[in-house]
C-alpha cells in the first residue's frame, strides 16, 4: 500500500519538528561547554530566525511559480544539510580538530542554512494543502499539518535522548537522514496540485501590506511574541518561582510536553471532532490565552501553573490553524504560496523580538510579562471583532 503525497508532506513536517526541538535542547549546552558564551549561542539561533523571516515569503512565491513539490523538497534538503553542518563543527572542536575561534562562525553558517533553505518547506506544504482542499475542510487539514510538526517537537527530545546514548552526533545524523527520506517520498509520491501558476500578468499580485494579508500578519506577529516570550521564559520562571522544589529540569521538560500535547489535542477537538469556524476558533482561542496569562500572573503554585499551560496549549491549538486557514481562504488560488510565505516570515518575529521586548519586562517582575501578554491578547480580541477581513471568516 503506497503512502499518499500529502502524508509524505506531514512526515516532512514531523522530521523538521524532530530536529528543531532537539537542536534547542542539545546545541546550547554543547556550545557552552566548548567555550561559547550565552550571547554567542543565542545569536546562532537569532541569525537563523532572521534569515527565515527574510526568505519565507520568497519561497512561498517560488512555490507559486516553480511548483509546491520542488520547493518543499528543497526546504527538506536544506534542513537535513543544516543538521549535519551544525553538529560537525561541534564534533571537530570537541576532538581538537577545529580551532575554537572558528567554532562560532561555523555554527552560525550551519544554522544559517536552515534559515535560508529550510524555510521553504512550510509555505510550500501549506500552499499545496490549500490547492487540494475545499475551504470548508482547510482548517482541519491545516491543523493536521501543525500537529505533525508538534508531534515531532515532542518526540525529538525523547528519540534524540535515546540516540544521544550512542554518541552526541547520532541524533543529528538520524534526523537528517529522515529528512532526506521525506524529500525522496515527496518527490516520488506527491502529485502535481491544481494551483494556478503566477505567470499571467493579469493576475493580481499580493504583498505583505495587501488588504487581505496584513491583518493576518499583524495578528500572527502579536501571537508570535506572546508564544515566544512564554517559551523563552519557562525555564527562568520555574527556576525563579519554584526553586524550593526538587528536579527543576524535569518540571521544565514537563511544561514543554504539556504545552505541546495540549496543543495537539486542541487541534483535534476543535477542528476535527467538534469543528468550529475560523472566526470562533480565533475568538475563543484568544480568550483562553487571556485567561491563562492572567492566571499565571496571579497565582504562583506549580499546579495552577501547569493548568494554565494546558489551557494555553488549547488556545494556541485553536488560533494557529484558524489563522493559517483564514488567511488562505481570503486569497485567490494563484496567490496561495505567496500568502503562506508571508505568514511563515512572521512566525520567527516573536523569537527575534523577545530578548528586546519581553525579557526586559520579565527582569522587572516575572508576573509583569504575563500581564503584558494578556494585554496584547485583549488587543487581539478587539482586532478580531472589529476588522472586516477577519470577521468574514465567521462564515467559513
Q: Which domains does the chain have, with CATH numbers?
A: 5-189 (1.20.1250.20), 214-395 (1.20.1250.20)
Range with the poorest average pLDDT among 136-145, 245-254, 272-281, 381-390: 245-254
C-alpha–C-alpha distance, residues 344 and 395, integer Å: 25
Asked if 177 contacts 83 with a C-beta cutoff of 8 angstroms, the reply is no
Per-residue confidence at 378, pLDDT binned at 50, 70, 90? very high
Hey, is 159 helix, strand or coil? Answer: helix
Residue 124, pLDDT score: 93
Mean pLDDT value across residues 286-291: 96
- Report percent pLDDT > 90 for the chain: 38
Residue 159, pLDDT score: 85
Quote the Cα angle for 364-370-371, to 5°.
85
Q: How confident is the prediction for the chain on average, in pLDDT?
A: 86
Residue 221, pLDDT score: 93
Asked if 59 contacts 75 with a C-beta cutoff of 8 angstroms, the reply is yes
Mean pLDDT value across residues 186-214: 70
C-alpha–C-alpha distance, residues 370 and 297, integer Å: 6
Residue 38, pLDDT score: 67
Mean pLDDT value across residues 161-171: 85
Range with the poorest average pLDDT among 199-203, 211-215, 263-267: 199-203
84-124 pLDDT, tens digit per residue, is: 999 999 889 888 888 888 999 999 999 999 999 999 999 99
Of 110-114, 156-160, 298-302, 350-354, give the range with the top mean pLDDT.
110-114
C-alpha–C-alpha distance, residues 83 and 145, integer Å: 22
Asked if 225 contacts 357 with a C-beta cutoff of 8 angstroms, the reply is yes
Per-residue confidence at 264, pLDDT binned at 50, 70, 90? confident
**Residue 226 scores a pLDDT above 90:** yes
Query: In degrees rounded to 5, what are phi and psi of residue 283?
Result: -65, -55
Mean pLDDT value across residues 206-227: 88
**Residue 314 burial class via C-beta count within 10 angstroms: exposed 0-12, middle 13-18, buried 19 and up:** buried
C-alpha–C-alpha distance, residues 381 and 385, integer Å: 6
Give the residue from 55, 57, 56, 32 showing the smallest Cα distance to 44: 32
Residue 200, pLDDT score: 45
Hey, is 194 helix, strand or coil? Answer: coil
**Cβ neighbour number for residue 312 with a 10 Å cutoff:** 26
Per-residue confidence at 336, pLDDT binned at 50, 70, 90? confident
Alpha helices per DSSP H over the chain: 5-33, 38-66, 68-94, 103-116, 121-132, 135-164, 170-189, 214-241, 248-268, 278-298, 302-329, 336-346, 349-364, 366-386, 388-391
Per-residue confidence at 237, pLDDT binned at 50, 70, 90? confident
Mean pLDDT value across residues 163-190: 91
DSSP label of 165: T
Residue 377, C-alpha cell as written in the block: 491578547
**Residue 32 scores a pLDDT above 60:** yes
Residue 65, pLDDT score: 87
**Residue 395 scores a pLDDT above 60:** no
C-alpha–C-alpha distance, residues 311 and 308, integer Å: 5
Per-residue confidence at 45, pLDDT binned at 50, 70, 90? confident
Q: How far is CA 8 from the centre of its chain?
A: 19
Amino acid at each position: 500500500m503506497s503512502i499518499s503525497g500529502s502524508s509524505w508532506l506531514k512526515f516532512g513536517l514531523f522530521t523538521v519538528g524532530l530536529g528543531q526541538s532537539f537542536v534547542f535542547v542539545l546545541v546550547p549546552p554543547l556550545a557552552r561547554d566548548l567555550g561559547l558564551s550565552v550571547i554567542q549561542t543565542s545569536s546562532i539561533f537569532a541569525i537563523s530566525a532572521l534569515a527565515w523571516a527574510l526568505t519565507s515569503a520568497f519561497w512561498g512565491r517560488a512555490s507559486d511559480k516553480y511548483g509546491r513539490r520542488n520547493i518543499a523538497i528543497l526546504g527538506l534538503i536544506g534542513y537535513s544539510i543544516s543538521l549535519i553542518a551544525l553538529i560537525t563543527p561541534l564534533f571537530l572542536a570537541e576532538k581538537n580538530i577545529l580551532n575554537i575561534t572558528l567554532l562560532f562562525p561555523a555554527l552560525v553558517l550551519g544554522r544559517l542554512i536552515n534559515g535560508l533553505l529550510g524555510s521553504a518547506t512550510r509555505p510550500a506544504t501549506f500552499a499545496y494543502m490549500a490547492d487540494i482542499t475545499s475551504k470548508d475542510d482547510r482548517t482541519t487539514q491545516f491543523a493536521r499539518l501543525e500537529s505533525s510538526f508538534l508531534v515531532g517537537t515532542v518526540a525529538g527530545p525523547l528519540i534524540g535522548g535515546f540516540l544521544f546514548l550512542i554518541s552526541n552526533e547520532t541524533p543529528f545524523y538520524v534526523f537528517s537522514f529522515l529528512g532526506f527520506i521525506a524529500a525522496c517520498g515527496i518527490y516520488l509520491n506527491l502529485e502535481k496540485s491544481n494551483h494556478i501558476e503566477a505567470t499571467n500578468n493579469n493576475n493580481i499580485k499580493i504583498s505583505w501590506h495587501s488588504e487581505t494579508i496584513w491583518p493576518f500578519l499583524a495578528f500572527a506577529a502579536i501571537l508570535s511574541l506572546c508564544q515566544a516570550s512564554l517559551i523563552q521564559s519557562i525555564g527562568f520562571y520555574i527556576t525563579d518561582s519554584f526553586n524550593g522544589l526538587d528536579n527543576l529540569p524535569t518540571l521544565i521538560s514537563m511544561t514543554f510536553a504539556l504545552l505541546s500535547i495540549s496543543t495537539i489535542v486542541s487541534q483535534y477537538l476543535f477542528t476535527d471532532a467538534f469543528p468550529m469556524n475560523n472566526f470562533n476558533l480565533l475568538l475563543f482561542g484568544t480568550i483562553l490565552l487571556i485567561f491563562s496569562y492572567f492566571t499565571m500572573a496571579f497565582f504562583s503554585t506549580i499546579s495552577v501553573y501547569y493548568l494554565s499551560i494546558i489551557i494555553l496549549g488549547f488556545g494556541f491549538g485553536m488560533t494557529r490553524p484558524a489563522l493559517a486557514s483564514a488567511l488562505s481562504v481570503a486569497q485567490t488560488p494563484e496567490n496561495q504560496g505567496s500568502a503562506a510565505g508571508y505568514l511563515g516570515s512572521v512566525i520567527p518575529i516573536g523569537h527575534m523580538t523577545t530578548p528586546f521586548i519581553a525579557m526586559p519586562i520579565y527582569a522587572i517582575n516575572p508576573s509583569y510579562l504575563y500581564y503584558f501578554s494578556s494585554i496584547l491578547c485583549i488587543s487581539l480580541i478587539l482586532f478580531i471583532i472589529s476588522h472586516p477581513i477577519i470577521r468574514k471568516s465567521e462564515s467559513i
